[in-house]
Amino acid sequence: MNAKHAIDVNSASAEQLDQVPALRGHGPEIVRYREERGGFTDLRQLDEVPGLTGKTDGIDGAVSLGDQGPSGSVSSAKS
């Protein structure tokens, strides 16, 4: 998948996040986590969302961090 078509975990709605098969059903928890902690700076943080631990391997390309991050850096988990 092309990163340009990836869903931005820092701005997507719960419904948009639920469109990613690995995240399906966890959209509201991801949005809640994002709001409580000020956004994601690394895709590996998705493992901290209740119910997602160990289920996010291989989502690179399906989701992105957009251009958000405290120092403007964008990182992603490698498979």
Q: Would 70 be classed as within a structural domain?
A: no
**Domain total of the chain:** 1
Give the contacts of 41 (CB within 8 A, at least 6 positions apart).
65, 68, 69, 70, 73, 75
pLDDT above 70: residue 69: no
> What is the rounded distance in angstroms from the CA atom of residue 78 to the CA atom of residue 11?
22
pLDDT above 80: residue 64: yes
Q: Would 78 be classed as within a structural domain?
A: no
Q: Would 21 be classed as within a structural domain?
A: yes
Q: Would 11 be classed as within a structural domain?
A: yes
Question: Each residue of 4-47: pLDDT tens digit?
Answer: 578 999 999 999 999 999 999 999 999 999 999 999 999 989 99
Q: Would 76 be classed as within a structural domain?
A: no
Q: Would 56 be classed as within a structural domain?
A: yes
Amino acid at site 42: D
Domain that holds residue 57: 3-64
Q: Would 22 be classed as within a structural domain?
A: yes
30, 23 contact by CB (below 8 A) = yes
